[in-house]
Amino acid sequence: MNLHRWQTRFFALLFSRFPGLTARWLKRQRLHDYGPPPWTRLPKPLPACTIALVTTAGVHLRDDEPFDMVDKEGDPTYRVIPQKTPRNHLCITHDYYDHRDADKDVNIVLPLDRLQELANDEVIGTVAPFHYSFMGHIDGRHVARLLTETAPEVARRLKQERVEAGEG
Amino acid sequence: MSLSIQRELTEKTRPPRALFLRWPYGHPLGEPFKAAQQRWVLCEALQALVSMQTPGTILDLPYRWRKPGPWEGGEELRVKS
């Protein structure tokens, strides 16, 4: 592992321990202006809805290419998580937060099992067949690719899969 | 419906609907293997998905990290659709 990754993991532990540091860091950042929040009303009652999960926790299948941890500006790509994936086939590549607890139980960042239970109990209609995962450190030149390419692609896929709402 | 554990960032990115929990990074649904806690938070998100009417709303949830919550006694949050 290179020095950059060690430094990133050190700061991730520090920022996890002292969240106020992130707030101070954010005040100094010039973030993209996303404009007014988009809005779509939920079209059906929840028990008739198909729900998908979208996470920025860096979850992916063990066989997938891991997210890029070398590029300091991050990685704007996404991975597909089938709902039926055995949980021990999932792993996390994300140096920018402390994910030791999520490694033990992925449900704290991607609540696959809890969502299935809510479908079984008819609180929601069905669980979408696929969920989508990003790695939440996306900066610099990668922001444009996220906004124009990968995020719209995920939105299109969710629409094709007739998902009414995403939780993430 | 967005689950946030970094309110300042959520204020800047402005998702349509968000819940904020003052919990550590990497724990938006709570602690590992605490299924009742995770389910409660997910139900809060679904309830907000139904009830929020104003774009950009961020709802602050009152639960404190590693403190007892309403899920402890086996109570379930009933989501009103």
Of B1, B12, B22, which is closest to A165 when you measure between CB atoms?
B1
Is the pLDDT at A40 greater than 80, yes or no? yes
- Which of B39, B59, B65 to mutate: most A Cβ within 10 Å? B39
Subunit contact A39:B55, Cβ cutoff 8 A: yes
Is the pLDDT at A164 greater than 90, yes or no? no
pLDDT tens digits for range A47-81? 999 999 999 999 999 999 999 999 999 999 999 99
Tokens of A13: 């532990």
Q: What is the DSSP letter of A96?
A: T
**Segment (H or E) for A47:** none
CB-based contact B46:A123 (threshold 8 Å): yes
Of A27, A42, A57, which is closest to B49 when you measure between CB atoms?
A42
The residue among A147, A148, A139, A134 whose CA lies nearest residue A30 is A139
B58, exposed or middle or buried, with CB in 10 Å at 0-12, 13-18, 19+?
middle
Tokens of A162: 């007739």
CB-based contact A82:A161 (threshold 8 Å): no
In terms of phi and psi (left: phi > 0; alpha: psi -120 to 50; beta: otherwise), the region of A35 is left
Roughly how many angstroms between the first and final C-alpha of chain B, as a whole number? Answer: 15
Q: Mean pLDDT for chain A?
A: 91
Task: Return the half-sphere exposure (C-beta side, CA atoms, 13 A cut-off) of residue B57.
Answer: 14
Query: Residue A1 has what pLDDT?
Result: 67
Q: Which domain holds residue A88?
A: 44-167
Count of structural domains, chain A: 1
pLDDT tens digits for range B16-65? 999 999 999 999 999 999 999 999 999 999 999 999 999 999 999 999 99
Tokens 């403190």 sit on residue: B67
B9 in contact with A at a CB cutoff of 8 Å? yes
Taking contacts as CB-CB distances below 8 angstroms, the residues of chain B near A117 are 35, 39
Taking contacts as CB-CB distances below 8 angstroms, the residues of chain B near A108 are 26-32, 38
Mapping DSSP to helix (H, G, I), strand (E, B) and coil, where does residue A114 land?
A: helix
pLDDT tens digits for range A79-134? 999 999 999 999 999 999 999 999 999 999 999 999 999 999 999 999 999 999 99
Cα–Cα dist A109/B30, whole Å: 8
β-bridge partners, B2: B18
Cα–Cα dist A43/A11, whole Å: 42
Taking contacts as CB-CB distances below 8 angstroms, the residues of chain B near A98 are 24-26
| Mean pLDDT within A31-47 | 90
The residue among A63, A112, A65, A108 whose CA lies nearest residue A87 is A112
Cα–Cα dist A81/B52, whole Å: 28
Taking contacts as CB-CB distances below 8 angstroms, the residues of chain A near B2 are 168
Residue A69 lies in a domain: yes
Subunit contact A97:B25, Cβ cutoff 8 A: yes
pLDDT tens digits for range A130-149? 999 999 999 999 999 999 99
CB-based contact B1:A165 (threshold 8 Å): yes
- The domain limits of chain B are 2-73
What is the crossing angle of helices A3-17 and A20-27, to 10°?
110
In terms of CA atoms, which chain A residue is nearest residue B1? A167
Cα–Cα dist A60/B57, whole Å: 30
Assign A8 a pLDDT band (cuts: 50, 70, 90).
confident
DSSP letters, B29-53, are T-STT-HHHHHHHHHHHHHHHHH--
In terms of CA atoms, which chain B residue is nearest residue A17? B24
